[in-house]
């Protein structure tokens, strides 16, 4: 195997690193964490070694990313064997009103169709609704579109 020697200036190296970091940062958002939690739950159900601590960690990461991106308070719950639930609350920490959405896990699509509350006035609710209904797709190298 022949190795090729590539010469880079320091500024070229900085540019490559910056582009790579920006690419990774755009791919990691709340949808990525929510998808990871969903896949971990499905693996757990099928006996592939999913882990409840891992699932909860992905749920908490999705919540933190939602709160950072949209403000307000959000809850992501993948503890159920059939569904992944999303709740969006207003900025008021004492509010019990929320927008709700869920998406079924593999094998439960007929029993539980994707659902999003029709109010959709809480922070991030429209984006969560689009995600639950499958209107967002992951594109490798570009993140969620």
Start-end of H helices in 28-124? 30-45, 52-70
Tens digits of residue pLDDT in 78-103: 888 888 888 888 766 666 677 788 88
Taken in order 77, 138, 106, 130, the sign of the CA dihedral is positive
Contact of 139 with 26, CB cutoff 8 Å? no
Single pTM value for the model = 0.73
Tens digits of residue pLDDT in 2-19: 888 888 899 988 998 888
Tens digits of residue pLDDT in 16-48: 888 888 777 666 788 988 988 888 888 876 655
Tens digits of residue pLDDT in 110-141: 887 878 765 567 778 888 888 888 888 777 76
The domain limits of the chain are 25-137
| Residue 112 vs residues 27, 34, 43: alpha-carbon distances, Å | 28, 18, 19
């Amino acid at each position: 195997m022949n190795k090729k020697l590539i010469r880079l200036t320091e500024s070229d190296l900085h540019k490559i690193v910056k582009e790579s970091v920006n690419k990774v940062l755009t791919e990691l958002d709340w949808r990525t964490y929510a998808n990871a939690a969903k896949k971990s739950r499905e693996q757990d159900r099928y006996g592939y070694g999913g882990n409840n601590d891992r699932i909860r960690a992905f749920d908490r990461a999705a919540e933190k990313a939602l709160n950072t991106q949209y403000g307000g308070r959000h809850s992501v719950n993948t503890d159920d064997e059939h569904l992944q639930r999303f709740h969006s609350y207003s900025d008021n920490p004492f509010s019990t009103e929320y927008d709700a959405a869920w998406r079924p896990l593999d094998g439960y699509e007929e029993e539980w169709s994707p659902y999003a509350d029709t109010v959709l006035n809480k922070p991030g609710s429209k984006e969560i609704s689009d995600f639950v209904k499958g209107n967002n797709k992951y594109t490798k190298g570009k993140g969620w579109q």
